[in-house]
Each structure stands twice: as C-alpha cells, then as structure tokens.
Amino acid sequence: MSSAKPVDLTHHLSQEARQRKPNAMKALWRLTKRKPDMISLGTGDPHFSLYPMKQVSFEVASAAEDIEDPVATWTQAGPSAPTQTFMASRDEPRSVALRTAMAYSTGAGLPEAQRAVTDLTNFYHSPPDHVCTLTIGNMDGVTKCFRLLGSPGDHFLADEFSFGALTNAPLAHGINWVPVKIDKGGLIPSDLEHVLSSWDEEVHGRRPHVLYSVPSGQNPTGCTLSLERRKQIYALAQRFDLVIIEDDPYYFLQYDLEETSSNPLMPSFLSMDTDGRVMRVDSFSKVMMPGMRLGWITSSQYFHEHLVSLNDNSTQHPHGFGQIFITEMLSEFGWGLDGFDRWTRSLRKQYQRRRDVFLEHFYREVASTGLASTEPPEAGMFVWTEVHIDRHPRFRTDVRDAGRTTPRTNTPELMDELFERCLDAGLVVMPASVFAAPASEGALKLLGDENSVQDRVNFLRTTFAGEESQMQPALKILGTVLKEFFNESK
C-alpha cells in the first residue's frame, strides 16, 4: 500500500464518463441514515419474505487438502468423485445471506463478494493501492474499460493479432486501433516505443492513451510476455502516459512453473502498478465455467468509482447467484483461497498435459512435413501454428508492383485457400486473418505499407482445450492438407 504515488489520471476519462452525473436518489439515500432506527417508506424493493426461494446450492468438485490432484480426481472418478456444496439459505447462516444476495445492491456488488475477490487479488498480485469492482464477466469488464477511457476519435493500442470480439466492440463508439507488432514473445516493446514516439498529434490526432494487452497465453497467439518485457512496457506506459487494460483470463493457466513457491505465476502489470494506470480484468471463465458470467476489475480508487457509476447506469450489480457462488467458494464454507489455489494448480497440470499431448501429435503429424511449425505456448489454450507459406510454389512477393499497395505478398490469398481446404477435409481451424486488429486509417499511414499485417497472416490458431481424442485425427488432417496444398501445383 505504501509504495503508491498518486498520479493524476483524470484526463484519461472518456467524454461519456465525464458527462455521467450522479443519480439524485443516491445522494438522498445518504441523508436517510440521519438517525438509527429510521422507518422507511422510501424504498422500492420487494419485501424479502416474498422471494420464492429457500435455498440455492451448487454441488461442486472437492478441492479438499487431502486430494492431491483435484482436477484429475474430478475428471477420472466419475459419479463417485467427492463433492462439496456452496450454498445460501433463507434459514441457515453461511458466507452471504440469501436475502441480501437476492436483493438490489449497488454497482460495486455485494461487500462479501467484493471482499472475496479482493483477498484473491491481494494474494496473487499484492497491488500497490487498488480496489476491485465486480463485473458480469470478462467481456463486460473489458468493454466497460473501453467505455470509461475512450472518446470518439481516440486511438487505442493492441497486439496486431487480437481477439476479434474485443477489438470489434469499441469501433461502434468511434475508437480507432493502432496495432503493434508482435513476435513469439508477444508485443515488442521497441515497436510500441516507435509508434508512440513517431506519433504526430497534428497529423494523427490525439496520441494513443490506452494499451489493451493480454499478457499471458494471449488469444490467438498463445504468447506470454516475459517479466522483462512487462517492465519495459510499464515503463513506456509511464513515459507516454498510457493506461494499460490488462486482460488476463489465462493467468492461472501458465505452464512449466516451479509449483513449489507460494505463487509461481508471472508478476502481472497490476503488481507493478505504482501509478494506478493499470486496469486489470480478471475472469473465472477459464478456471471455472464460462457461463458463470462473473468477473472483476482491479483498478485505482478513482477508476473504480467511475466503473461503479457506469455499472449503476447500465447493468447494475452482478446477479446474486454468481455472487453467492464465488463468495462461498472463497470462504471457509467452500474451498477457501487455499482450495482455489489447489484447484488452479491442478488445472494447470491438466492443461499442461493436454498441451504436451497436442504438441506430440503436432510434431509427428504437422511439423514433420516441414511446412508448419510452432513455439510451445507458456500459457493459455492456444497453439499458434506458423505456416511456411513462402515455401508454397505459388507464393509471390512484390505483388505490389502489380498495381496494389498492400500487402506485398499473396499470403492472404494462399492462406484463404488453405483454410478452405481444411474445411473441405472436415477440419476447423481459425485463420490468423480474422484476428488482425482493425487498424485505423491514421494507424495504417503511420505504420506504412512495408509493415502490412496482411503479409504476416500465415498462422492458424489451434487449441488443446477441446476433445482430447480428436487431437490426433485433427492434426493428421492438417498435416495431410498441408502436404497436398504445397505439392499440388508444383
């Protein structure tokens, strides 16, 4: 807590966030605490005695201390696998009261649920001086950060290959993207510096003031930023006054770790955020279930207050069911933080094993062709497969001379063909082209034709999160299709 230096970040707020007015009723509610034992005819809440619910309960996998590898036990023991129950009851005290969880609350969520994710965040990140705000899941969290920070015409920075659903979302409210080059280690700090230092506000408009980053197991590339790069990027954020939206759903799925230490996971941007310029978005989707739709943002108190106000003016607080689930899960009645840590360690083991099975098939079926290769991902669910498209007999460079400016090569056309051939052979893979961040006109001008991302779309996103039994047949198809595609027109 003591290491935080207050930095003025007020100018990062969007027009919309600045224009948001406090609700007059909220101010009034504060007055109504004038005396103890006030009688109220003021609320509009249905009386809890009319809630038709006695109990909500979730029967979940046990993460008790005596189970060495809870995920393996859960997936292998079938119906007899040991379980625990998280619940809230009308008649029995637990970590949160049913009548409180099912009533209206404020945009910040239930104090009990906030405390649960705050304890979790403190354990893993020890942020210098930050506050948690509950969200309705990861997408809600990230897009709320976009609304909070982005005014029409603003430019945001992102990895040149990013998750399309997220880079797509703020286009509608006038945000422009400036893609930054990546390599196998993720976003390249010197490229970020180049963009920022060569930005001319007279020509390109307001300099980008937000970096959207997925630091671990990035979707789609699977890249994880090294600690060194994280430090460099944070220093650039300080130098060029950026807010970093740290979207880290794969944080708990990092591999090849020394699992002995109390927290073997890579330090987050949040953990080094002395300025309060990081808004970290966390999710339970990848370690629990996506349908839970409950996550949280950790930010400075200042951004927290504006996030709560945005919640109050849009979605309101998260659903009571999910708040009960996570509060119970992280409490002494549920797994506790210890149990959660055991579950996620065990889950890492599971995914790491899946990754290794996948890679084994990959090397045998695909890499052996010499036509594609990959780097083993250090986190997440994705294997970013590079297709050596320059070995294709119809590969062409300098197609620009044929009357076009960008791209310079016919990589996009060849990769489209390859994708079609995979589909024809019964295999679904995701082509890199759908992940190319939608660069604004200004960004394209700044980055120059020589750097068109279209010349670097020779990748496929594949995953080891799906059916294990399908990995080998799927990769066999990919290898076969590659061989046929590269040979056919020789």
Return the residues of window 142-201 that contact a copy of itself according to CB under 8 A. Answer: 143, 164-165, 168-169, 171-174
x/- letters, 420..459, toward a copy of itself (CB under 8 A): ---xx-xxxxxx-xx-------------------------
* Residue carrying structure tokens 């699992």: 259
Alpha carbon distances (Å) from 146 to 17, 110, 209: 11, 24, 11
Residue 356 neighbours by CB under 8 Å, 6+ apart: none
Is 347 a residue that touches a copy of itself (CB under 8 A)?
A: yes
Residue 245: both structure tokens together: 């939206």
Is 140 a residue that touches a copy of itself (CB under 8 A)?
A: yes
Report how far Cα 382 is from the mean position of its chain's Cα atoms: 13
Residue 2 Cβ vs a copy of itself, minimum distance, rounded to whole Å: 35
The count of other CB atoms within 10 Å of the CB of residue 202 is: 5
C-beta separation of 71 from 253 below 8 A: no
β pairing state of 182-183 and 186-187: antiparallel
C-beta separation of 86 from 333 below 8 A: yes
x/- letters, 54..93, toward a copy of itself (CB under 8 A): xxxxxxxx-x-------x--xx---x---x-------x--
Is 21 a residue that touches a copy of itself (CB under 8 A)?
A: yes
Footprint of a copy of itself on 224-253 (CB under 8 A)? none
Residue 6 or 42 with smaller CB distance to a copy of itself: 42
Is 313 a residue that touches a copy of itself (CB under 8 A)?
A: yes
Residue 444 or 465 with smaller CB distance to a copy of itself: 465
Residue 46 or 370 with smaller CB distance to a copy of itself: 46
Residue 74 neighbours by CB under 8 Å, 6+ apart: 61, 62, 81
Residue 298, SS3 per DSSP: strand
Say if residue 407 is preceded by a cis peptide, omega within 30 of 0: yes
Number of residues that bind a copy of itself (CB under 8 A): 113
* Residue carrying structure tokens 């008790």: 64
Binds a copy of itself by CB under 8 A, chosen from 5, 11, 30, 47: 47
At 296, give phi and psi (nearest 5°). -160, 155
Taking contact as CB under 8 A, which single stretch among the options 207-215, 257-265, 442-450, 475-483 is the one that binds a copy of itself?
A: 475-483
Residue 236 or 415 with smaller CB distance to a copy of itself: 415
Residue 58 or 123 with smaller CB distance to a copy of itself: 58
Is 376 a residue that touches a copy of itself (CB under 8 A)?
A: no
x/- letters, 86..125, toward a copy of itself (CB under 8 A): -----x---------xxxxx--------------------
**Which value, in Å, is the radius of gyration of the alpha carbons in the chain?**
25
Is 366 a residue that touches a copy of itself (CB under 8 A)?
A: no
Residue 357, SS3 per DSSP: helix
d(CA 318, CA 137): 9
d(CA 333, CA 57): 12
Is 286 a residue that touches a copy of itself (CB under 8 A)?
A: yes
Is 474 a residue that touches a copy of itself (CB under 8 A)?
A: yes
Residue 140: both structure tokens together: 């809600």
Binds a copy of itself by CB under 8 A, chosen from 13, 117, 132, 136: 136
Binds a copy of itself by CB under 8 A, chosen from 11, 45, 402, 405: 45
Binds a copy of itself by CB under 8 A, chosen from 94, 204, 317, 342: 317
